[in-house]
Amino acid sequence: MNAPKWVTSAVPAVFVVLWSSAFVAAVFGTGAAPPLLLTFARFGVAGVLLTGIALVSRSPWPRGRMLLHVAVVGLLMQAVQFGSFYTAIGQGLPGGVVALVQGFNPVLIALMAGGVLGERISRRQWLGFGVGAVGVGLAVVGELSVSVSAVLLCFVGLLGLSIGTIYQKRFTPTTDVRSSTAVHFLVSAPVVGLLSTLLEDQRVTAWGPFGAALAWIVLINSVGTFLMLNWMLRKQAASRVGTLFFLTPSCTAVLGWLINGQTLNPLVITGLALGGVGVILAVRR
């Protein structure tokens, strides 16, 4: 059964807001617990929850080689991406800056989608990617003030997201969204949990903020946004879905201002504006 047209039209905007909120929640969560411990808790709880949803709805589960492909997608889009992003935030990099680095995702997808998926990119889209990338670059330069390792971790997380998106579109385009996303979390949780055990002092210093951040990240970001992302990847070209990430820096900046009182310098504002222009050029028919 096809979704109503208004639902299909609203999903991208809702996705951007909810996806952006993850960076604000991560700031609270990593302030109360080690970043990899928070990531492990997110994957574990979300994996169990989505497994229950998949079983109740009798969703078909991937098997054989398809299961292996789904596991690879999960490790890239979950363990690599969020393990890196949360660790960078835990090292002091603002959540808004992490979102800005993630804004390069459409450019990497565009570079890879043509050769791997055979998707055609128009000149207007390439112009949009270029303008958006310049905007994101300006915004990042205007905010960078922490360690080089945190910045590098951001780009490692970006690679995980971009490669995972292309891999998913290429090898697992027909898997059930509920069961495949559950597999993503279930295979990522042990990996991140082991790294947390080896690298961190696993102590929660403030259970209230930790619990609130975890609940939001699990219910809204782990379940809601990834189901929406997987749904959009089935309905639209990977390059078009990727352009939505140009909007997350601006949205994250607004949420950070409303919730945390964070202000932006003129260079960042200019970069965010250029990123918005890039989106308009890239997605316009």
For residue 134, how many other CB atoms are within 10 A of its CB? 16
**Tell me, what's the pLDDT at 259?**
80
**Tell me, what's the pLDDT at 86?**
94
**Tell me, what's the pLDDT at 1?**
47
**Tell me, what's the pLDDT at 213?**
94
**Tell me, what's the pLDDT at 119?**
63
Tokens of 116: 């791997």
Closest CA to 24 of 202, 189, 258: 258
Report the C-alpha gap between 178 and 55 in whole angstroms. 9
**Tell me, what's the pLDDT at 133?**
77
Sign of CA dihedral 122, 126, 127, 132: positive
Report the C-alpha gap between 95 and 216 in whole angstroms. 15
**Tell me, what's the pLDDT at 232?**
80
The position carrying tokens 């492990």 is 40
Q: Pick out the chain residues at pLDDT < 50.
A: 1
The position carrying tokens 């808790």 is 41
pLDDT in tens, 156-192: 999 999 899 889 888 988 888 889 989 999 999 999 9
